[in-house]
Amino acid sequence: MTIKLYQIEKTQYRSITLADMSSLDAVTRQLPDGHYSTFRTFAGCTRVLGLKAHLRRLPNVDALSLRRNLLHSLEPYRPAEARVRVMETKQRQFYISIEPLKPLTREIYENGVRVETTTIHRDDPRAKSTAFINASDEERKHIAQVGIFEALLVKNGKILEGMTSNFFYVGQVDNLSYLGTAQRDILLGVTRAMVIRVARGRGVEVKYQPLKLDQLPTVKEVFITSSSRGIVPVIQIDEVKIGQGIPGKITKMLMLAYDEYVSKHAEKI
């Protein structure tokens, strides 16, 4: 199954083919600038976690119409799962692009990943703008070439978020662990909100404070989150090993709790 692109026009949609259909990012780069959101499906392309929140990123969307078109567009991908990007251009054109979901391997979730820091930034952190896909293209190519999983955006010596994810760390005060994450100058990810909810439900304190680079050697656990990948443990940032170099117990607990949350709360399209 290949990538499909549809343009939504009122209550109808039509399939479009562009010169480069190799990835969702390649498709997006060929369309006019605008806002977008990306997510994966569950239950054979019939459910999405936080779909209402994803659609709210499109300022002028007719949510009911887009849901209907999305459901029809996903039919060829069933009974497997798909990765979806919905987009609204500045000219109020709407697009749906879909590709088969390629889940991360079990080894990645069990063993964790390496990431690096970068000084690239979003012009408007609160808006999920397609312009950032173009601005970060060189960094995306670089991490792919060197085998790094993700790049973390750093500002004033503080880790804010991932290039395609949100960033969490486990800190400790008076022998009590807490979950830390930035609140300002970041994209407030849909999955980030779910993970915070899950953590509090498991009795984990959440603090909204970014991690300073010079604090890296003191943290015991780090993970990143995204709608397509869920919770991914991080075992190394640049040259600094995190904790024992393996996913920590709080991260593992939250991964299981998040999976349970998905099974209960993924909403029908």
Q: Where are the domains of the chain?
A: 4-100, 106-263
Average pLDDT over residues 209-214: 96
Give me the mean pLDDT over the 149-165 stretch: 97
Cα distance between residue 187 and residue 132, in whole Å: 12
| Pairing verdict, β 158-162 and 94-100 | unpaired
Phi, psi of 47 (to 5 degrees): -135, 155
Radius of gyration of the chain (CA): 18
Q: How many residues does the structure list for the chain? A: 269
pLDDT, one tens digit per residue, over 23-73 is: 999 999 999 999 999 999 999 999 999 999 999 999 999 999 999 999 999
Cα(124)–Cα(269) distance, integer angstroms? 29
- Return the higher-pLDDT residue of 23 and 10: 23
pLDDT at 9: 84
**Separation of alpha carbons 176 and 215, rounded Å:** 17
Quickly list H helices, 42-170: 51-55, 63-73, 106-111, 131-135, 137-146
Q: How many other β-carbons are positioned within 10 Å of the β-carbon of residue 166?
A: 23
Q: Is it true that domain 106-263 has CATH number 3.40.47.10?
A: no
Model confidence at 175, pLDDT cuts 50, 70, 90, reads confident
Q: How many CB atoms within 10 Å of residue 17?
A: 10
**119 secondary structure, DSSP code:** -
Question: Check: CATH 3.30.470.10 for 4-100?
Answer: yes
Give the DSSP letter of residue 158: E
Instruction: Name the residue type at position 87.
Output: M
User: Are the CB atoms for 228 and 100 separated by under 8 Å?
Assistant: no
Token look-up 């990007």 returns: 85
Candidates 130, 98, 94; CA nearest to 13 is 94
Taking all residues of the chain, what is their mean pLDDT, rounded to a whole number?
95
- The whole-number pLDDT of residue 1 equals 67
Angle between helices 190-201 and 249-265 (to 10 degrees): 110
Instruction: Give per-residue pLDDT as tens, 103-139.
Output: 999 999 999 999 999 999 888 888 889 999 988 999 9
Beta-bridge mates of residue 113:
234
Q: Name the amino acid, one letter, at 22.
A: S
Measured between alpha carbons, how far is 223 from 2 in angstroms, rounded to an integer?
Answer: 31
26-30, 98-102, 123-127, 201-205: which range is least confident on average?
123-127
* Rounded Cα–Cα distance for residues 127 and 212 (Å): 24
Neighbouring C-beta atoms of residue 38, cutoff 10 Å? 21
Separation CA 215–CA 7 (nearest Å): 46
